[in-house]
Structure 1
Amino acid sequence: MEKYEIIKNIAKRSGGDIYLGVVGAVRTGKSTFIKRVVETLIVPHIEDEYERKRALDEIPQSAAGKTIMTTEPKFVPNNTAKIKIDDVECNIKLIDCVGYMINNAIGATDENGPRMVKTPWYNEEIPFTEAAEIGTEKVIKEHSTIGIVVTSDGSIGDFQRNDYIDAETRVIEELKGLGKPFIVVLNTTHPNHPDTENIAKEIRQKHNIPVLPINIEAMNEKDMYDILREALYEFPVLEVRVNIPEWISILNLDNKIKKSYIESIKESIVEIDKIRDVEKITEHFKENEYIDKCYLSDVDTSTGIITINLSSPMELYNETLNNLIDKEITTKADLLSLFQEYNVAKKEYDQMKYALNMVKQTGYGIATPSIEDMKLDKPEIIKQGPRYGVRLKAVAPSIHMIKVDVESTFEPIIGSESQCKELIDYLTKDQEKDKNEIWKSEIFGRSLDSIVREGIQSKINLMPDNIRFKLQNTLTKVVNKGSSNVITIVI
């Protein structure tokens, strides 16, 4: 990622402002870090000459030894600096915090007891140690877009590694509770030494955060962009977009393949919190037999939107097609033949579907004839008085559908009343879970659905052909003559 992209993406995530809150224990090099960032990253990119000089004048003091240098929080520069890198403009500011006390550090007390310091948040002075705790929370929570925790391996001055651990842990845990993106800079004189790498690894594993070993005194522009890049990956993921094969997306929700995809997607995003976590997301999809490949197609660090593409095995489509149509398709000829059959069926269904909906809703539906169904008789000349005309007569079959509720009653004689109750309980035991389960129940060796279906079919077949013919003729007369009254006698 180019340096201008890093700045642009961070600025976009934070509304155009990059505020770095520099926190940690005392005597770790926080002020030196700010000094190097201002001199190397900020000042060279400030276009206004006066603003450049002002930024340099406001750099905090730093020195070796055990004496605490930063005694109150400071904004550096005091007024936000506007920088321009290539075509990217943004506002940038660093906040230098009072550090957490460590053993053997000098300056937390004076002849009167606890040292009192000024802060931007209170009119009165407060104890040094309290300023460190309050300042860290307020700087990170209210004034920063990114937190930089500075700690040390003990190689930069007069303190040992063990002197920093307690304060380091307190700061990191506090920042984790605030929910802002932050990283740890391990200040060291030998960043590539194996011992330093081991310390960084230990902090990384203990707190699950990125740690960069850097010699702050010699920090260059590349190091600074590495820090910002790592911080950018700590921003939260706001949206995960998953692209699945189009043919799977149109399957019904109860389809086992689609359900499997949905479950895998739900499981995969549970652990995704930060941009850095996106590499974990592909692991969950590898266990799904219906997913052939999974890869990150886009990670937009400027918006927090992650895009994932999933693909299915080649043979899965054919297998699903065969299951859906309940017919094995092995050649292109089979598929083409099926499409031809379905095309004919679809045309017929399209003509009937409105009538089917009507009959389901009202009990009566009419399928309007298509132009192919219409037959035009030979035109005839007609005479009305002294005038002549032409008769054009067309005949078209309209299909009328009537919903008839057919009753089927099955009354087996079981025995005692208690036996009948047991049968009812047996039939209805799974009805609450699945209302269709009752039809699978067996009575006298036969399923209930076959018994009921047989009773319904026998009643339907009882209607003789002559009655059907008479009903058809009656409807034809009602439709063509526009009758509004019908008298029916059923004997």
Structure 2
Amino acid sequence: MEAYDIFRDMAERTGGNIYIGVVGPVRTGKSTFVKKFMDLLILPHIQDEAERQRTIDELPQSGAGRTVMTTEPKFVPDNGVAIALNGLNLRVRLVDSVGFPVMGAVGYQEGDQPRMVTTPWFDHDIPFEEAAEVGTQKIIADHSTVGVVVTADGSFGELPREAYQPAEERAIQELKKLGKPFLVLLNSQKADAEETQSMAARLAHEYGVTVLPVNLPHITRSGLQRILEELLYEFPIKELEVRVPLWVEVLEISHWLRQSLQEAVGSAFQGLEKVRDIYRAMGELRQHEYVQDVRLESADMGTGVLQVVVEVPEEVYQEVLRELAGFDVTRPELLLKALKEYREAKGFYDRFQTALREVEETGYGVVPPLLSDMEFEEPQLLRKGHQFGVRLAAKAPAYHILKTEVTADYSPILGTESQSGGPKRVSPASSAPGWPAPPPAGTPPGEAPQRSRRPSPPPPRWNDRR
């Protein structure tokens, strides 16, 4: 993004007041960041010469070694400075805080006693460490719209990396509690080295924040613009629009594909807070079986309005098309044939549609004749006295539709098993009806046993009371 676009979006997010609170451990480069930011991004746009000189005079000092340079909060400039950038009017101010003490640093103690410092929030001096903690809260909560935590990897100065860890953690946790947009700068002499990049990634995972490795003494204008751009991604999302293909929106809400996509979108984008979180959610949504790709169509960083487009695979579209049609329409000739039949069927249905609705509502409907169905008879000459006339007649089919109730009733008569003609029991020794029973044991071969004849029972009578 260009500088103008970054400042415009930042101005929209902050109401035109870009107030950056710079916090973190001592001896990490906070004052260096403030000085570089003002020199490269702000001072060139201050039109008033006296205002520019006053701002230069208020820049913080920075130096090497173990000695703490900033012993009280410093507002640069004191009341903010107005700048004009291509018609964009802004007020900018940076606040350099008293850093959290670290083991091995010199200057925050006087002998065995804590060093007392002056702050704008108390009418008396307070210990250095208390000034760092209270100052961090006050600067971010009351005097800043965004925050920057500056820490170091131990590649410069005389303090090792381990000395900064407790203080950097305290600063990050304080900013998380306050809820303001912020990021972390990992100051290093070898910011582009692989080990520094790995350390930044590890810290980002450990703290759950954005960590940028930078070399503050040699940072460029584009490097500072990138920091501001990354800060824009820490602002909250105001509105999120998720667009699916139009053919999906045509489906019924209860359709399996639409329901599946709605559940997937709801699960992926649930709990989004910052603009940066959108990329994680998009990656999660890409894993869905019915999603081909997810892309960020537009992102208005100034208003926090994002638009995400979800693409569905072509084969899913073909499957839904085949399902709705009831037959295969994946080939062009099949689709054209189906459309032709649909047109004919729709034309026929449209003629009866109104009448069918009337039948549902009132029980009766009429389909009036069409002009194209009219059959005109031959005109006839009529004479009545001295007057003559012409008789014109025509006929056409009309449909009268009635709604009737069709009922069915089944009332079986129950009785005994013999009366109802139920199934008869057959003993295992007997044979099927019409077949002779097997001969008894001892019957000579070739002689069939005589079959006894029993009289058939009389037919059942419905009033039989036997």
TM-score range with shorter-chain normalisation?
0.7 to 0.9
8 Å CA contact retained: 2:82, 2:89:
yes
Deviation at 1:166, TM superposition (A): 0.8
Distance in structure 1 (CA, Å) of the matches to 2:385 and 2:130: 115
C-alpha change, 1:359 and 1:170, in structure 2 (3 Å) is farther
Q: 2:413 & 2:296 partners in 1: Cα distance?
A: 66
Deviations 1:95-139 (A, max 9, x none): 222222223444545689655544444556554433322332232
Cross-structure match for 1:309: 309
What letter matches 2:72 in structure 1?
Answer: E
Superposed, 1:73-472 pairs within 5 Å as 73-86=73-86, 88-108=88-108, 115-122=115-122, 126-270=126-270, 272-329=272-329, 331-372=331-372, 399-408=399-408
Question: Does the 8 Å contact 1:72/1:97 carry over to 2?
Answer: yes
Contact map agreement 1:184 1:211 (CA 8 A) in 2: yes
Q: Cα–Cα, structure 1 residues 395 and 187, in superposed 2: closer, same or farther, change >3 Å?
A: same
SS in 2 for 1:351: helix
Secondary structure of residue in 1 paired with 2:276: helix
Cα distance in 2 for residues equivalent to 1:171 and 1:9: 27
- In structure 2, the CA distance between the partners of 1:335 and 1:155, relative to structure 1 (3 Å rule), is closer
Distance 1:196 1:406, change over 3 A: same
The offset of 1:385, in angstroms, is 12
Q: Deviation of residue 52 (structure 1)?
A: 0.9
Which structure is higher in helix share?
1
1:214 alignment partner AA? V
CA distance 1:184–1:373, shift in 2 (3 Å): same
- Please give the alpha-carbon distance, in whole angstroms, between the structure 2 residues aligned to 1:414 and 1:310: 65
SS of 2:149 mapped into structure 1: strand
- Mean alpha-carbon deviation: is it higher for 386-395 or for 342-351? 386-395
Q: Aligned partners of 1:209 and 1:413: how far apart in 2?
A: 82
Alignment partner of 1:308: what SS?
strand
Deviation at residue 59 of structure 1 after TM alignment? 1.3
How far the C-alpha of 1:140 sits from its partner, in A, is 2.1
Partner residue of 2:457? none
Do the aligned residues in 2 keep the contact of 1:364 with 1:400 (CA within 8 Å)? yes
Q: What is the DSSP-based 3-state SS (H/G/I as helix, E as strand, rest coil) of the residue aligned with 1:275?
A: coil
The separation in 1 between residues aligned to 2:309 and 2:30, in whole angstroms, is 43
Distance 1:376 1:97 in 2: 100
Per-residue deviation, 1:280: 3.2
Q: Distance in 2 between matches of 1:143 and 1:360?
A: 70
Q: Is the 8 A contact 2:19 2:145 kept in 1?
A: yes
> 1:295 corresponds to which letter in structure 2?
R
- Cα distance, 1:20 vs structure 2: 1.1
**Distance 1:179-1:408 versus aligned 2 partners, 3 A rule:** farther
AA aligned to 2:102 is I
Structure 1 length as normaliser, TM-score?
0.72
Counterparts in 2 of 1:67 and 1:410: CA distance versus 1, 3 Å: farther
Identity within the alignment, %: 42
Does structure 2 retain, via aligned residues, the 8 Å contact 1:351–1:370? no
Is residue 297–residue 307 contact of structure 2 (8 Å, CA) maintained in 1? yes
Amino acid at match of 1:54: R
What per-residue deviation string (whole Å, max 9, x for no partner) do you get for residues 9-59 of structure 1? 322333333221101122322122212211221101212212211211221
Letter in 2 for 1:283: G
Q: State the alpha-carbon separation in 2 of the partners of residues 110 and 25 from structure 1.
A: 19
| Alpha-carbon contact 1:264-1:284 (below 8 Å) kept | no
Q: Which amino acid aligns with 1:298?
A: S
SS of corresponding position for 2:79: strand
Q: TM-score, normalised by structure 2?
A: 0.75
Structure 1 position 248, deviation (Å):
2.4
The Cα shift of 1:346 comes to 1.8
SS of residue paired to 1:235: coil
Change (3 A) 1:230 1:388: same
Deviation at 1:198, TM superposition (A): 4.4
Distance (Å, rounded) in 2 between the aligned partners of 1:71 and 1:225 = 28
Single out whichever of 316-325 and 382-391 deviates more from structure 2: 382-391
Q: 1:379 to 1:297 in 2, by over 3 A?
A: same
Moved more, 140-149 or 327-336: 327-336
Over 3 Å counting, the alpha-carbon distance change for 1:329 and 1:161 in structure 2 is closer
C-alpha deviation, 1:259, in angstroms: 2.5
Match of 1:480 in 2: none
Deviations 1:247-291 (CA, angstroms, capped at 9, x unpaired): 222122222222333233223323754333443344334444433
Give the Cα separation in 2 of the matches to 1:125 and 1:398: 101
Q: Deviations over 1:306-353 (max 9, x none)?
A: 333333333443432222121233654433333232223222332333
Consecutive unaligned residues in structure 1, runs of 5 or more: 416-491
SS at 2:90's partner residue? strand
Larger CA deviation: 374-383 vs 400-409? 374-383
The answer to whether the Cα contact below 8 Å between 1:20 and 1:147 also exists between their aligned partners in 2 is yes
Please state whether the residue corresponding to 2:295 is helix, strand or coil.
strand
Unaligned runs of 5+ in 2: 416-466
Write out per-residue CA displacement over residues 417-449 of structure 1, whole angstroms, 9 at most, x where no aligned residue.
xxxxxxxxxxxxxxxxxxxxxxxxxxxxxxxxx
Please, what is the CA RMSD of the aligned residues? 3.7
What is the alpha-carbon distance in structure 1 between the residues aligned to residue 378 and residue 56 of structure 2? 103
**For the Cα contact (< 8 Å) 2:322–2:330, is it kept in 1?**
no
Q: In structure 2, the residue corresponding to 1:191 is in which secondary structure?
A: coil
Corresponding residue of 1:21: 21
Change (3 A) 1:78 1:356: farther
Deviation by residue 1:196-255 (Cα, 9 ceiling, x = unmatched)? 444433322211322223232333323212222222232333344333332222122222
Match of 1:31 in 2: 31
